Amino acid sequence: MSMLHDIGARALHLLDPEDAHTAAIRGLKRGWGPKAPLDDPMLRTVVAGLHLPNPIGLAAGFDKSAEVPDAMLAAGFGFVECGTVTPIPQAGNPRPRLFRLTPDRAVINRMGLNNDGIEAFAARLQGRERKGIVGANLGVNKDSDDRVADYIICLKRLWGLCDYFTINVSSPNTPGLRALQSKEALDALSGRIARAREGLEGTTPIFLKIAPDLEPFEIEAIVESAVEHGFDGLIVSNTTIARPDTLQSKHARETGGLSGAPLFERSTEVLKLTAQCAKGRLALIGGGGVSSGAQAYAKLRAGASAVQLYSAMVYGGPGLVQRIKRELCGILQENGYATVAAAVKR
């Protein structure tokens, strides 16, 4: 069956990238996705109190409106992050806005946080059985007068419906959003989120997702602000606005965020710097260019307790997550680690 799923994934490459994505979501909603076997116990791990069956997560952007989280958990992901969701539905930027860079095994997107809005997102989460770890990536409406208020609206509406939250301050496709990573803006945002969190029952981890285009002094400031205001962890990293000279695709100069293979090296460098600054005070999740067990292992050795991927599935198909887990198990064993947690560089 995995071969049939991978053949189907290759067939989707005959379609426009966004049409292919829409078709994939429809197929998953109809139950056509792969069904993974139980994970090897050595892959179990705990991140910010979240008990994961394996450390390979689905990054935000694939399931923007929480339509298929359970299908992706069934496909073998250890956790699934839905979103980015905003308070009010928005159409995003004009098409074309999603580009395959096939020679580079990369993707550029300038989607503009298109999604069905918080009410539809919440209704879907309310309608599912709470099995598996599902997070919500929170964003802001493009024309919002108070962007911090948008995060808080989403946080309060979804509290109790998902297992963790990610505050997205690093999408390059919403004008001005990345400015929220500056020290002053981030302190203001973090303080308001911390106060909102105090008024909510129970404890749910909150992560901050940062860009790979930060300088070391900016990373240090973000880490200290996150620790001071009670964030549980950081996701390192979002897409990049940089364009490496190595890109070969005709779409290489399209505007938007670049993801996939060319992001791996830079995102892993930023992860290492973040881990050095955090000194174990924050849980770290590594994203950016992961497409193999060796790359997942490299993220663990750089300080991440888990990883996320999305763009690699465009080229590796739905069977990719199983291949990564098999490879990771072999690498852990070869290096004398009995568990994922033991391999994480502290």
Catalytic residues: 171
CA distance 165 to 136: 5
Q: Which of 260, 8, 6 shows the shortest CA–CA distance to 109?
A: 260
Residue 34 near residue 28, CB atoms below 8 Å: no
Residue 117 near residue 88, CB atoms below 8 Å: yes
Phi, psi of 283 (to 5 degrees): -75, 140
Order of all β-strands in the sheet with 98-101: 98-101, 106-109, 257-260
Residue 57 near residue 307, CB atoms below 8 Å: yes
CA distance 208 to 58: 16
Report CA-CA distances (Å) from 192 to 46, 146, 197, 262, 304: 28, 12, 9, 35, 27
Report CA-CA distances (Å) from 319 to 29, 37, 223, 300: 18, 12, 35, 22
Report the DSSP pairing between strands 106-109 and 98-101.
antiparallel
Phi, psi of 222 (to 5 degrees): -65, -45
Q: Which of 235, 97, 239, 98 shows the shortest CA–CA distance to 172?
A: 239
CA distance 99 to 171: 16
